[in-house]
Amino acid sequence: MVRKFILAGAAVALLMGPAAAQMPMPGMKFDNAPKQLTPEERARRKAIDDAYQAANRKIPDKSVAIDPWGNVRSLPSTGNGKQ
C-alpha cells in the first residue's frame, strides 16, 4: 500500500516538473514597456554612440579584395572556352 503512494507521488512529481518550468520566476517582469531614461543615462548612451561612430569612421574602406592565394593560382586563359 505504501509502495502505491510512493509511486503515485513520484508520478505526480514527474508530471509537475515541466509545468513548473513554464511558470515565470518570481520577481521577473515581462512587460514590453520601454524604460524611461534619466538625462545622465541619455548623455552616457549618446557618448557611447558617438565614440562608436568615431571608431567606425577610422576603419579604412575595403576597396581591393585581398586574395591570399593570388600568387599561387595561374592566370585564366583568354581562349573562347571550347576545345
Cα maximum dimension of the chain: 91
pLDDT tens-place string over residues 32-82: 777 788 999 999 999 999 999 999 999 887 777 777 777 776 766 666 655
Residue whose grid cell is 545622465 = 40
Give the pLDDT confidence score for residue 61 in this predicted structure. 79
Give the pLDDT confidence score for residue 83 in this predicted structure. Answer: 53
CA 41 to chain centre: 24
